[in-house]
Amino acid sequence: LAADAAFWSALALATLRLSLPLILACFGGLMSERAGVANIALESYLLFSAFTAATVAHFTLSPHVGLLAGVAAAGAVGWLFATICVYGRGDQIVVGMAFNFLALGLIPILCRALFGVSGGTPALPVEARFGGIWLFAFLALAYAVYVAWMLRQTPFGLRVHAAGENPVALLNQGVDVHRVRVLAIVQGALIAGVGGACLSLALSSGYARDMSAGRGFIALAALIFGGWRPLPAVLACLAFGFTDAAQIQLQGREIAGVKWPTTLIQTLPYLAALTVLMFSRRRVLAPSAINRDLETFRSN
């Protein structure tokens, strides 16, 4: 039984560790989508901030400076994404995919220019990374409380909500809808950047190629499953984090007398996200102005 207790506490800790990047990325998606901008670019936020955080931590030997740099990088990426979506009036989904390609293309080139190899940063020494995940757990919790309060109780939060549900009403109030959307996206990108830094500075020792492994997309599935509300979305992220932790635990074990191949077990988190999307009919909860630019409302 003692071994069992050790097993379960290890599983719980692994769940928390693997959920944190999901939760933080999910907040990034939440801020953007609640303001009416569909955000498929979360993956690129994670990759850019994980890479920048690891690179800066490598040169400064300070995880905290690395974290700040990662957050700033994600904020810059988010600002660019917001500008092209909102002012450039590009199709939000297409622009989002292009940002993911940009991350996949630009990072290996920068990596090779800085470190001579395109596969990732060198392993960070202990003093350049975080010893635990507690700072990130605290930031995630604090932001969860903040965002739940902010969206309901502050003028900015209500404007974000209106920008996503009925931007014309907001426009008629004399509010600059574009500005609200850009600010919301950038704020979301900053918190998602914390998630990226968590990946490279706390969950592993440096940046490795494509290290987010689709977490940006799983976070989006969690956001949808959580009905675009902060606390249910966090719970959904924890559930997906659990499947990821379970997947790692299950590798090399016998289930029902069969030793399942690792290659198939590794697909569990994606299968879990797909299953959730298949069995939830939640479209009605989506912000109604999502993926529509303001002009389409004006012409109606």
Partner 1 sequence: MNVSVWWKNSAPSMAMTLVALIVGLGFGGLVALAVGENPAHVIGILVRGSVGSSSALAMTLFNATPIIFTGLSVMWAFRAGLFNVGAEGQMIMGSLAMLSVAYATGAASPWLAWPCVLAAGFVGGGLWGALAGWVKAYRGAHEVLVTILLNFVAFGAIAFSVVTLYRDRASQAPETWAVAPMFHLPALPVGTAHGPANLSLLLALTTSALVALALWGSVFGFRQRLVGGASEVARWNGLNVNRHIVLAMFVAGGLAGWAGLSEVFGYTFRLREGFAAGSGFMGIAVALLGRNSCLGVVLSALLFGALQTGSLALDIETEGVTREMTLVIQAALILTLASEKVFRPFLGRVLRG
Q: Residues in the site for partner 1, rule: CB under 8 A?
A: 38, 40, 84, 87-91, 93-95, 97-99, 101-102, 104-110, 112-113, 118, 214, 217-218, 220-221, 224, 261, 263-264, 266-267, 270-271, 273-274, 277-284
Q: Work out the widest C-alpha separation in the chain, in whole angstroms.
A: 67
Q: Which is nearer to partner 1, 60 or 118 (CB)?
A: 118
Residue 108 CB, nearest approach to partner 1 (Å):
4
Q: Which is nearer to partner 1, 188 or 293 (CB)?
A: 293
Residue 231 CB, nearest approach to partner 1 (Å):
21
Tokens 């994980």 belong to residue? 50
DSSP 285: G
51 CB burial (10 A radius; 0-12, 13-18, 19+) = buried
Which two tokens mark 157? 């939060």
Q: Which is nearer to partner 1, 110 or 148 (CB)?
A: 110
What is the CA 119 to chain-centroid distance, rounded? 22
Residue 244 CB, nearest approach to partner 1 (Å):
12
User: What is d(CA 27, CA 193) in angstroms, rounded to the nearest whole number?
Assistant: 10
User: What is d(CA 188, CA 174) in angstroms, rounded to the nearest whole number?
Assistant: 24
User: Which among 218, 221, 223 has a CA at the least distance from the CA of 278?
Assistant: 221
Residue 291 CB, nearest approach to partner 1 (Å):
9
Q: Which is nearer to partner 1, 3 or 283 (CB)?
A: 283
Which two tokens mark 261? 């191949």
Q: Which is nearer to partner 1, 175 or 268 (CB)?
A: 268
Residue type, 65: V
Tokens 């903040």 belong to residue? 146
What is the CA 19 to chain-centroid distance, rounded? 10
Q: Where are the beta strands (DSSP E) in 24-158?
A: none
Which two tokens mark 4? 């069992």
Residue 259, strand partner residues: 254
Residue type, 174: G
Residue 95 CB, nearest approach to partner 1 (Å):
5
222 near 56, Cβ under 8 Å? no
Q: Which is nearer to partner 1, 205 or 291 (CB)?
A: 291
Q: Which is nearer to partner 1, 135 or 245 (CB)?
A: 245
Residue 256 CB, nearest approach to partner 1 (Å):
18
User: Which among 157, 196, 162, 186 has a CA at the least distance from the CA of 51?
Assistant: 196
Residue 222 CB, nearest approach to partner 1 (Å):
11
Residue 278 CB, nearest approach to partner 1 (Å):
5
DSSP 120: B
